[in-house]
Structure 1
Amino acid sequence: MQSLAEFHFLRAGYLLFLIPITILWWRLRPRKSAAQKLPDGIAPHLSAALLLGADDRRRVYPIDLAMLAALLITLAVSGPTWSRATNPLIADTAPLVIALKVTDSMEQTDLTPTRLERAKYKITDMITARSGAQTALIAYAGSAHQVAPLTEDPNILRPLLEGLVPAVMPQQGDVASIALDLALNILESNETPGSVLFVLDDLEPSQAQGFDSQGFDVFFLTMLPDGARIVQLDNLSNATVVPFTPDDQDINRLNRRIQSAYADALDDDDRLDWTDQGWLLAWPAAFLCLLWFRKGWVIRWAVLACILAIPSGPAQAAGWRDWFLTPDQQGQVAMNQKRYGDAADLYQEPYHRGYAMLKAGRYPEAAEVFAQIDTAEAAFAEGLARIRNREYRPAIAAFETALDRRPGWPEAEHNLEVARAILEFVETTREQSDTGEEAGIGADDTVFDNEDSKGAQTTIQAPKDGAEGLSADQWISAIDTDMQDFLRNRFLLDNQALNQ
């Protein structure tokens, strides 16, 4: 029904050709004459044989096939469409901000082991089901905090999600409306329309007004046993509520609803072109045109031409596609089927080839391709590839180049800030570890325990042969940080910044 509502013609002026086609069809189609009548006195069984064309009982004439083909061709040229075309600059899956309620009520054990733990499992399943899509995470209780920005990497979200417990929240309470404002701010920084999902077990009545005033569709996953309802959500006109289920039905239902809302939003996105679906009518029109040939030498020469058109040499399983689709079109088919590696090998257009390599995880190759394109979008994509390949300094340079080419680009500014923060974190951690403070090895010479001249002399010799410096990945992996302490301190700093 949604596709039917969006149906229209890209080149509606060509529909005027339907008028002469209809007139020609009406004028040229044979008609049986009702005026033919023999004189009286002829036997009825002989009269039918004497009438011209009396035995012609055909209902379909060649002119019918010709005019039907002309009708289909006219409709195809008019450009029927009902959906937007994909764009590599815009994600093919809706960005999603997940707001998780982290309160004492979520520690109840009516959902084993607790509501909060089951909520974490559901969020993990949601992230897995949305592989390759951008997801952000918010935690809220008496205050709301951004845990992770929009990211396609589930490895960033999972450890942060595990550290969320009520003890890390600075204040107890329920500020769901503030969490919604924070989620909308995250989505506003992204050019692609997205959705907000709340995972909760209750909603304060005073907070419900904040949802109605936004005029924005919000999704809710209620963490209550036996599909129990939250009365406050029933009164929200813009809420899609999905109750908890022990299996994946709730996650599948949410994904369908979120993707449907995303498709509706893209239909209103003027940055996307409409997909010309006229080619669907070209195939039946071509089949009807084949029926025009008489049985004889014409069809035999057509078969011979098809045989000669077959390329010589070794047969290839997918060689037939080259007869109908260009390499870029074949690459787009592979992208639509999420065969990113095949798409990267098929694409010839540089930006699309680099984007497919980025989606396939071939980050060094993607970065090299984007570096050869002189556009702000290419520099931005190069920065993404560099930062995922742990090349933080080149990533910073790429984002700076993107800002030079398009000043004030919010996404590039945000990613530049993130890349600089990661680089500073890595270098600070390496400097601390170089002193041995984090590793616990101390000095590499001699250590005395003899404050009162009573201690025994102890010598610790650090190994020097074959010692090699650790990479940035190894330094990060060696950090043993309590995630709950990290989140608690971060949320406290957030509150202090708000109160200043």
Structure 2
Amino acid sequence: MRFAAEAWLWMLLLPPALWALLRWSDGRAQADLGRLLGRRAGEHVEGRPVTALAWRRFFLLTGLCWLALALARPQWGTHEIEMRQRGTDVVIALDVSNSMRAQDVVPSRMARAKAELAGFLDDYDQGRVGLVLFAGQAFVQCPLTLDRGTAQLFLRMADTDMISTQGTAIASALQVSGQLLVGGRSPGADGARQAILLVTDGEDLEGGWREAAASCREQGIVIVPVGVGEESGGLVPDPESEGFLKDDQGSVVMSRLDLASLQELADAGPGFVFRIGRGGLDRRALHDVIARLGERDLGGRQVARYEERFIWPLGLALASLWLGALVRPRRRAATAIAVAALLLGLAATPVRAAPWQQPGGAAARRGHDLYRAGDYEGALKFFETARAEAPDDPRLSLAVGEALSRLGRHEEAEREFARALSQSSDPDLRSESLYNSGTNALSAGDPRRAVEQLRRSLDLDPAQRDALHNLELAVRSLEQPPPEDQEDQQQQ
């Protein structure tokens, strides 16, 4: 197995980091609650059973792990596909005779030609390229390949001492290059869109090159001559004598670029000779000439492709995230209490809407709608009408108490919450009644009563975050001196 995008595997560090952060946050909350409740903190925090919140965290963090694996694109198993290539076949026929050591271009004709051709190959992405070296004879240095790096490697190896037979056998170079191109054609294809890049100084041409050029043209192969050097010529260094090359009569050899012969070759091709001289090769124009030849089908090859398997971890990620979204801690309908906000600068969770299916029929449903719309007077009337139909239902007593608390009638609300508490033996409803009683007391400015009722609510349901929050507000309110005491201290 392999991963096509391994960088995403770093994302696997995120879920453990989030888990550690949540554990640290829980520890802070436990410590704060311990400071508020003292020895009773363990009754509300420690030893709690696994809650819906814990399962929610588990599914969400697990989903993130699977998502990271999916993004990393796991792959295993392979299948083969056929890759077809289109482009232009080009064979570079490079002169490596002794005259290419001439220094009329810096540092030498050979070094300058190799540098310019390397730059040409860097930009060439139009098809396959091959390399033929020639002097008194020619041979294939690199067969046709799409791998420009391989072609450049063989180009760097080219030197003037690779062929012992000296001369400028252009005929042999054209024949070997033509055979290489013809052998690389698809069955039934013609020679169109194939070219020979003849790189030479053109000096001391041997016979038969015109016939070889005509044979290439008959096969549809275009010859693009590239002259290396200057017509003014240059001396040819002799590595054996550490001087300059001499002829049989002992005279120093002056090598000159033979443009006339190269122009004759160019007339049947692009019409002009490219130059590698003091000004360098016009690579853009050379690319344009090759591009005008068009593209041909270079054949196909079987390539092994890995099978993508990201769908499996992606499916598990979606399933885990979906389960995490389904598992929700018990939610309470809540808004801010103005009294606590004024006292502490914080918003306490208000009286919660009771989780009941209205037994009072249409009146209860109407009251519930008005309550949610903020019409507490109207809601109270409908709740009382509904309770007349079911006077022993603690949920309706809770609803009446909630509406009264919203209207600021805290004493009446407290009586309704006490009535609901006495009417029910269900732990959840009793916890609701005590919670609402404590929150109502907090709103009425009686934090001591609020602490008592909220603690009793937590005894029945330790996992209540709303109750813990309001209990903290009530304890802080008790710790603050009364407003009159604050004024006396300021006057003193």
TM-score range, shorter chain: 0.3 to 0.5
Give me the TM-score of the superposition, normalised by structure 1.
0.34
Larger radius of gyration: 2
Bigger share in strand: 2
